[in-house]
């Protein structure tokens, strides 16, 4: 993976991997196929996060099993989360194209005074669909997504309140905040688009959560595997549009920030 000054003029995206079990996987492949070079930073393994986004054309923040909110003793869900939230605020302020997935979406919301809590609706696990909201029709990435796209879910926490000024792009019956945009170039997805079947199988293996829910891990993995092609058909072009935006190849959409941009 290249650094900020990548070869051959290819723009570099900073990818933050919060959990060794949630790597870029298919999303990383789609982004590199679309022309981005990726620099993956793994703070869970001791990698240092950069102080800012100088030299990067995009920011991607991946998921993980941690909680975004402080524990009972007031410590963050992971020691590096305040730094990640700082980068997310800088990305929104400076209009650096940003894609935050799963836990990453919760960090994006929390970084801008949204609320993340254990979901009152209970865990959401396995394949599902989300419904686009009207605002998605004017969004440069979501406008081409089908009305009810297939997604993969794996979370117990929920964004219970979006940040002030955020644009809601997708919802579902039990979880009203499935996708949103901050400003005009930062997207949060509560669902997962990066997974392949092997990743889901890794999550399901000896999962206390599945055991508590009474779910058969093999059936969960099989159900996810059945929709992998459908997920790719929708979210690979979505990822390519994100890469095109980062590389300056996507026409500037008539989407303007709707909130005072926070942070430094």
pLDDT score recorded for residue 71: 84
pLDDT score recorded for residue 206: 80
Q: Is the Cβ–Cβ distance between 67 and 35 less than 8 Å?
A: no
Which tokens in the block code for residue 88? 């997310």
Q: What is the pTM of this model?
A: 0.91
pLDDT mean values, one per 10 residues, the chain (264 residues)? 44 98 98 98 98 97 94 90 98 98 98 95 95 97 98 96 97 95 97 98 93 95 98 98 95 46 35
Q: Is the Cβ–Cβ distance between 80 and 47 less than 8 Å?
A: no
CATH architecture label of 7-246: 3-Layer(aba) Sandwich (3.40)
pLDDT score recorded for residue 72: 87
Q: Could you give the CA distance from residue 151 to residue 79 in angstroms, rounded to a whole number?
A: 30
Q: Is the Cβ–Cβ distance between 90 and 51 less than 8 Å?
A: no
Residue 207: burial class (beta carbons within 10 Å; 0-12, 13-18, 19+): middle
CA 47 to chain centre: 20
pLDDT score recorded for residue 252: 53
Domain ranges of the chain: 7-246
């Amino acid at each position: 993976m290249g650094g900020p000054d990548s070869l051959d003029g290819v723009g570099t995206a900073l990818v933050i991997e919060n959990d060794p079990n949630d790597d870029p996987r298919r999303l990383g492949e789609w982004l590199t196929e679309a022309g981005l070079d990726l620099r993956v930073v793994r703070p869970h393994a001791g990698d240092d996060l950069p102080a800012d986004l100088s030299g990067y054309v995009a920011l991607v923040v991946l998921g993980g099993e941690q909680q975004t909110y402080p524990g009972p003793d007031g410590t963050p869900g992971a020691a590096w989360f305040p730094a990640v939230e700082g980068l997310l605020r800088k990305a929104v302020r400076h209009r650096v194209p940003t894609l935050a997935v799963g836990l990453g979406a919760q960090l994006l919301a929390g970084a801008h005074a949204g609320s993340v809590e254990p979901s009152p609706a209970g865990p959401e696990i396995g394949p599902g669909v989300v419904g686009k909201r009207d605002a998605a029709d004017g969004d440069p990435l979501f406008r081409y997504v089908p009305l009810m796209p297939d997604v993969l879910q794996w979370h117990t926490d929920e964004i219970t309140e979006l940040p002030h000024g955020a644009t809601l792009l997708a919802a579902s019956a039990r979880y009203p905040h499935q996708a949103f945009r901050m400003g005009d170039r930062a997207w949060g997805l509560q669902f997962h688009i990066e997974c392949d079947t092997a990743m889901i199988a890794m999550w399901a293996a000896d999962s206390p959560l599945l055991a508590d829910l009474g779910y058969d891990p093999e059936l969960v993995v099989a159900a996810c595997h059945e929709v992998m092609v459908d997920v790719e058909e929708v979210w690979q072009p979505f990822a390519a549009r994100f890469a095109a935006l980062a590389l300056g190849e996507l026409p500037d959409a008539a989407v303007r920030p709707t909130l005072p941009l926070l942070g430094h």
